[in-house]
Structure 1
Amino acid sequence: MATGSKKVIYAALAGNALIAVTKFAAALYTGSSAMLSEGIHSLVDTGNQGLLLYGMHRARRPADDNHPFGYGPELYFWSFVVAILIFAVGSGVSIYEGIHKIQDPHPVTSPVVNYVVLAAAMIFEGVAWYIAFKEFSVQRGTRGIVQAVRESKDPTVFTVLFEDTAAMLGLVVAFAGILAAQLTGAIWLDGAASIVIGLILAGTAVALAIETKSLLIGESASVEMVAGIRQIIADHGNRISSINELRSLHNGPHDILLAISLDFRDDIAAGELEEIVYALERAIKHQFPSVRRVFIEAQSVYRHAQIVGEEAALENEGKAG
C-alpha cells in the first residue's frame, strides 16, 4: 500500500481525535447543539480512519487456499463501511440533535468558547485537508477532480479528502449557526446548524458509498493500461492472429488480475507457444507492476465465439425463466 495513503490517514486520525475531545468539552460547557454535532462528526471521522487503517492491514495478507487471489478487496469493503457509518451515525445523530434543539431550545452559554474551539479546529482540519489534497493531486495528475475520483482505485485518499472537506464545511456552518443565534436571539438557529451539518454528512456518505460500491463489485484497469497491454501483445503480432478477449479486475489499488484469450498461429509448436506466453507475461508485469497475476489462454477465434454464444444463450434462458 502506498506510503502516501498512510500518511494522509495518520494525519487525519491524529487531528480528528484531538479535535473531537475539544469539541465535546466545549459542547458540554456551552450547551451548543451545533458544537455537539461537530464533536460527533470528528469522533466518527476518527473511527473511520481507524477502519481504513484496519482495512489496509487486512488487505496486505497473502493469498491462501480460501482466497487464492489475496485479500485486497477488504480495503474496498471497509471503505464502504466508513460511508455507512458517516451516514448512520454522523448524519443521523446530528440531524436528531438539531431537531431536538429546535423543539426544546436552550441558550448557548459562553459562545466565545465555541468560537475559539471552532477556530482551532479549522486550523487542524485545514492542515489535514491540505495533506490529503496534496496526496490526491499527486495521484490525479492532470485529470480533473471528479474524473480522478471516479477513476481512482485507492479509496483511502479520496475518502479522507471527502471527510475533511465535509469537516471544513461543517465548521463554517457551526460557526455561522452559533453566531446567528447569539446576534438574533433565535436559539433555534443553533439546532438548524446541527441539521445542516447532518445533511452535509449525508451527502458525503452517499458520494463515498457510490464510489466505493463500484470498487467493491469490481472495476477494470485504466483505459491507458489496457491500451498498453494490447500494444505489448501487438508487438508479438507475427505469431498471434488476434486477441479474442482481454479482461482485467482490480483486487486492490495496486493488485490487478488479468485474463487474456489469444488466437495463436496454427503452425506454432507447443514449446514456442509456451515461450511466447512467458515473454508476454514478463513484458506486461515489467511495464505494469500493478498487474500481479496474468492468465493467458490459447483459443481459436471460432471456438471462443462459440463459447461466448453458448454463454449468452444460457443467460437469456435464465432471464426468460
Structure 2
Amino acid sequence: MASHTEGSTKAIFYALGANGGIALAKFVAALFTGSGAMLAEAIHSLADCTNQVFLLIGLKEAQRPANDSHPMGYARVVYFWAMMVAILLFFVGGAFSVMEGIKHLRNPEPITNPWVAIGVLGISVVLEAFSLRGAMVEIRKISHGKSFYKWFRETRQSELMVVAGEDIAALAGLALAFVAVVMTVYTGNPLWDACGSIGVGLLLMIVAIIVIREVKAMVTGESATPELHAAIKAHIEAHPEIAHVMNLISMQWGHQIMIAVQAEMRPQPSDIALVDVINEIEAGIQSRWPQVYWCFFEPDRRKPPASVIESELSSYP
C-alpha cells in the first residue's frame, strides 16, 4: 500500500513540476502573441497545477488515522479530491477554453509573434511528455502487463488515473493548439486559432467526463480489482479447513481493501478451535495482501434444498 502511495505521489510531483513550467511559458507566449488557443492552453496548464495540489491534499488527508466518527479511516477521501479535479478540469480547463474560442470567433484577432507560440508549444510537448512518462512508469509497475485502457477501466487508484488522463489530454491539446497556430500563420486567417481553442476545450471536457465516470464508480463503492478478488477467494478456498466459500465481498477503500467472507467450515473439535482457524485464515490473507486492512469472517453452513427439508418434515408422524 505504501509503495502505491509513493508511486502516485511521485507521478503527481512530475506533473506539478512540468505543468508549472508550461503554464508560465504559455502565459508569456499568450501575452506576446495574442493567441486565444495559447491562452486557453495556459489556463489549462494552470488548472492542472491546481489539480495536482488537490491530489496531494487528498493523499495527505487519506493518511489520517481512524477515529470514532470515521472507524474505517479516511482513505476514501482521495476519491473526493479526484472528483474535484475532474470537475475543475471540465469547467476551468474545458468550458473556459470553449468560451474563449467562441469569443475569438466573434471578434477575430491576428496573432503576433507566432514563432514564439510555436516554440513554447514545442517546449510544452517535451515537458508534458516527461510528465506522462513518469506516470506511465508508475502505472507499469502495478498494471501487471495490462493495456493502458484496461488498467484505466479497472484501477482503483483515482489519483494516478487522473494524472495520466490529464497528461494525455494535455498532449492532445498541445497538438491541436500547434496545428491551430500553424494554420493561422499559413493562411493568415485567425479563425483557425479560435477553432483550435474550441477544440482544446472540447477535448478537455470529454476527458473530464470520462474521468468523472470512473471516479463516480469508486465513490459509489467498487470491489477490489477482479484478479485480486479472484486471488483472495482462491486463497481462502485452498485452506484445508474451508469446505466452501459461500460469499466473498470485497470493497476498495482508497489504498486499503475491506473483505467480508461467508464460508462453510469443516467440523472443528471446539468453538475455540474454530476461532483459531478463522484467525489463521485472516492472518494469512493480510500477510499476503497487506492492503487488506479489514477482514470480517462469518462461518456458516449451506442450507439444504427445500425438497430435502420437505422430505424430512414429511417423515415425522
The answer to whether TM tops 0.5 is: yes
Partner of 1:91: 94
Deviation at 1:185, TM superposition (A): 1.6
1:1-321 to 2 correspondences below 5 Å = 1=2, 2-237=5-240, 239-253=241-255, 255-265=256-266, 268-302=269-303
Give distance in 1, aligned partners of 2:269 and 2:205. Answer: 59
Query: Structure 2 vs 1, CA of residues 110 and 214 (structure 1 numbering), >3 Å: closer, same or farther?
Result: same
SS in 2 for 1:172: helix
Q: CA RMSD in A?
A: 1.7
Give distance in 2, aligned partners of 1:113 and 1:240. Answer: 69
Give distance in 1, aligned partners of 2:21 and 2:263. Answer: 56
Deviation at 1:76, TM superposition (A): 1.2
8 Å contact from structure 1 (residues 232, 280) kept in 2? no
Query: Structure 2 vs 1, CA of residues 267 and 123 (structure 1 numbering), >3 Å: closer, same or farther?
Result: closer
Give distance in 2, aligned partners of 1:165 and 1:179. Answer: 21
Give distance in 2, aligned partners of 1:281 and 1:37. Answer: 53
Deviation at 1:296, TM superposition (A): 0.7
Give distance in 2, aligned partners of 1:224 and 1:94. Answer: 40
Deviation at 1:106, TM superposition (A): 1.1
Q: Partner letter of residue 256 of structure 1? A: I
Deviation at 1:102, TM superposition (A): 0.6
Give distance in 2, aligned partners of 1:226 and 1:170. Answer: 37
Give distance in 1, aligned partners of 2:118 and 2:268. Answer: 80
CA deviations 1:22-59 (Å, max 9, x no partner) are 21121122111000000011011101001110110111
Deviation at 1:267, TM superposition (A): 5.3
Partner of 1:319: none
Deviation at 1:82, TM superposition (A): 0.8
Q: Partner letter of residue 215 of structure 2? A: T
Give distance in 2, aligned partners of 1:227 and 1:166. Answer: 33
Q: Partner letter of residue 244 of structure 1? A: M
8 Å contact from structure 2 (residues 155, 225) kept in 1? no
SS in 2 for 1:292: strand
Aligned residues: 302
Q: Partner letter of residue 242 of structure 1? A: H
8 Å contact from structure 1 (residues 225, 288) kept in 2? no
Give distance in 1, aligned partners of 2:230 and 2:109. Answer: 63
Deviation at 1:232, TM superposition (A): 3.0
Query: Structure 2 vs 1, CA of residues 229 and 183 (structure 1 numbering), >3 Å: closer, same or farther?
Result: closer
| Identity across matched positions, percent | 36
SS in 2 for 1:302: coil
TM normalised by structure 1 equals 0.90
Give distance in 1, aligned partners of 2:26 and 2:37. Answer: 10
Deviation at 1:5, TM superposition (A): 1.3
Deviation at 1:132, TM superposition (A): 1.2
SS in 1 for 2:67: coil
CA deviations 1:43-101 (Å, max 9, x no partner) are 11101001110110111111111111111111111111111111111101000000000
Q: For structure 2, list consecutive stretches of 5 or more residues without a partner in the other structure.
A: 307-317
TM normalised by structure 2 equals 0.91
Q: Partner letter of residue 274 of structure 2? A: L
8 Å contact from structure 2 (residues 268, 274) kept in 1? no
CA deviations 1:212-258 (Å, max 9, x no partner) are 11111111123332333233333334x444322211101013x0001
8 Å contact from structure 1 (residues 52, 156) kept in 2? yes
CA deviations 1:269-317 (Å, max 9, x no partner) are 11111101110111111111111111111233239x9xxxxxxxxxxxx
Q: For structure 1, list consecutive stretches of 5 or more residues without a partner in the other structure.
A: 306-321
SS in 2 for 1:77: helix
8 Å contact from structure 2 (residues 258, 294) kept in 1? yes
